Every structure is written in structure tokens, then in C-alpha cells.
């Protein structure tokens, strides 16, 4: 099976996929060979610099991966609004929110479900302490889907609490986090957001952005 698969793959540089400065190589079908293997709906991305491969199925339901899966150590790549499929993004938003609540979580990052792009979900229980200077009309107490989020400022004061993680089952670690952060991101429509978060909201956002940088609570 592996020999047949590798014989059927063609390779090309894909400018739409980059990871940590590494240009991705997309695997494509060669004369319908993957169709014969029943893998028509699969998409493969290889990042040579760190020898990582992302394998996605357009129709498969997302699943939370756990440590020591090496995908959790990959740094997420920015979501490119001009080149990537926004319809798929909306499907991933719905599926990530569903999965987060099914696993009793309050946040979930794309890397935790084997998606290579920079976005995450913040559950409604963790958005009560968000104040928005420019948040597209969004309010606390609702689920937030943040695309290309970045922390642009944070407090020097920190607070240490025990944290758990859906990707590190049965593990809790005391983690010091800034009690306040200012975040810049986009929403599902591509609208720019900028907002302040404190207390639990700030902690969950920092936790999920750690995931997008390949950092886990066991590293703290």
C-alpha cells in the first residue's frame, strides 16, 4: 500500500502553504492513481525543513490529538484570506466548537485537531472578561473564533493557577499567566478585531496561543 501510494504521488511547491518560513510541498494525484486507492479526498502537505507532514481529509470529522503527537509541536501558519478556502474555515469553526463542548473544554486550537493554520476557539465561559475596543459587535458570553490571533500587549503582573489541557489528558500544571492581554485577530468574516482580556479570558487566550506556537502546559 505504501509503495503504491508513493508511486502515485506527484510533487509541487505550494506557495499557499508555509510553516515557520518553510515552503510546503503539496502532494497531488498522478493520472488518477489516488482515485484507485480510494484517497481522492485526501490532501497531503510536507514541510521539508522540519520533516512534518499534514494529511487532511475534506470530509472527515475533526479529532483532538494528544501528546506526544508531533503535530502539537508545530508552529501554526497564518490563515491567508486570499488563497485559502473560507467555506472550509466556517466548517472547521462549527466542528471545533462542537468538539470543544463535547470534550468539556473552554478553548481549542487548530493544531489540537491537526489543522496547520493559525486559528482557535474561545468558549463562551471564557469570554465574559473581554472588553472590546474594536470587536465587530461581538460581546462576552458567546463563543469566539479567532483567526490569526496575536497578543500585542500584556501586563507585567501574573497569576499562577493549575491548568489542564485536552491534548494532555489527566495532566495538570501550575502555570503563571499575565492577568491582562491585548489581542489582535480577525473574525470569521475577515473583520479586524482588537480587544482586551483579563482573568480567565486572558488565561484561556494565552493557553490557546501557546498551542499555536507549539507549546504545551507540560513545557511550563
Check: CB of residue 42 under 8 Å from CB of residue 57. yes
- Domain co-membership, 163 together with 117: yes
Q: Could you tell me the pLDDT band of residue 133, with boundaries at 50, 70 and 90?
A: low
All three cell numbers of 74, joined, read 508545530
Question: What's the domain range around 167?
Answer: 61-219
Which of 67, 150, 194, 208 is catalytic? The answer is 208
Radius of gyration of the chain (CA): 18
Q: Could you tell me the pLDDT band of residue 31, with boundaries at 50, 70 and 90?
A: very low
Select from 205, 220, 123 the least CA-distant residue to 168.
220
- Domain co-membership, 73 together with 144: yes
Helix, strand, coil % (nearest 5) of the chain? Answer: 25, 35, 35
- Domain co-membership, 172 together with 73: yes
| pLDDT tens readout for residues 163-198 | 999 999 999 999 999 999 999 999 998 999 999 999
- Domain co-membership, 77 together with 27: no
- Domain co-membership, 48 together with 75: no
Domain boundary among 59, 83, 103: 59
Distance CA 41, CA 19 (A): 22
Q: Please state the domain count of the chain.
A: 2
Check: CB of residue 138 under 8 Å from CB of residue 132. yes
Question: Where is mean pLDDT largest: 26-35, 79-88, 149-158?
Answer: 149-158
- Domain co-membership, 29 together with 66: no
Specify whether 208 is catalytic: yes
- Domain co-membership, 38 together with 67: no
- CATH value at residue 195: 3.90.45.10
- Domain co-membership, 18 together with 41: yes
- Indicate the SS3 state at residue 148: strand
The mean pLDDT of 207-213, rounded to a whole number, is 98
| pLDDT tens readout for residues 55-96 | 454 445 788 999 999 999 999 999 988 877 788 889 899 999
Domain boundary among 41, 59, 77: 59
- Domain co-membership, 85 together with 22: no
- The alpha carbon of 197 is separated from its chain's Cα centroid by a whole number of angstroms, namely 20
Count CB-CB contacts under 10 A for residue 32: 10
- 115 Ramachandran zone, left/alpha/beta (phi>0; psi -120 to 50): beta
All three cell numbers of 68, joined, read 506526544
- Domain co-membership, 78 together with 144: yes
Amino acid at each position: 500500500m505504501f509503495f503504491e501510494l508513493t508511486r502515485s504521488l506527484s510533487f509541487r511547491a505550494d506557495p499557499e502553504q508555509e510553516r515557520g518560513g518553510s515552503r510546503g510541498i503539496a502532494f497531488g494525484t498522478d493520472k488518477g492513481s489516488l482515485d484507485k486507492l480510494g484517497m481522492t479526498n485526501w490532501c497531503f502537505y510536507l514541510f521539508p525543513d522540519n520533516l512534518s507532514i499534514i494529511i487532511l481529509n475534506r470530509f472527515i470529522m475533526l479529532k483532538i490529538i494528544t501528546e506526544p503527537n508531533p503535530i502539537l509541536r508545530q508552529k501554526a501558519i497564518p490563515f491567508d484570506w486570499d488563497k485559502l478556502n473560507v467555506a472550509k474555515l466556517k466548517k472547521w469553526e462549527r466542528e471545533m466548537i462542537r468538539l470543544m463542548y463535547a470534550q468539556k473544554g473552554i478553548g481549542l486550537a487548530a493544531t489540537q485537531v491537526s489543522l496547520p493554520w493559525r486559528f482557535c476557539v474561545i468558549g463562551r465561559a471564557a469570554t465574559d472578561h473581554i472588553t472590546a475596543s474594536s470587536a465587530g459587535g461581538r460581546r462576552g458570553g458567546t463563543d469566539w473564533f479567532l483567526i490569526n490571533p496575536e497578543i500585542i500587549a500584556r501586563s507585567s503582573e501574573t497569576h499562577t493557577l493549575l491548568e489542564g489541557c485536552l491534548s494532555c489528558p489527566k495532566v495538570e500544571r501550575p502555570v503563571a499567566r499575565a492577568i491582562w492581554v491585548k489581542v489582535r485577530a480577525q473574525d470569521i468574516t475577515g473583520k479586524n478585531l482588537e480587544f482586551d482580556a483579563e482573568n480567565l479570558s486572558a488565561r484561556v487566550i494565552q493557553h490557546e496561543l501557546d498551542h499555536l506556537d507549539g507549546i504545551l502546559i507540560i513545557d511550563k
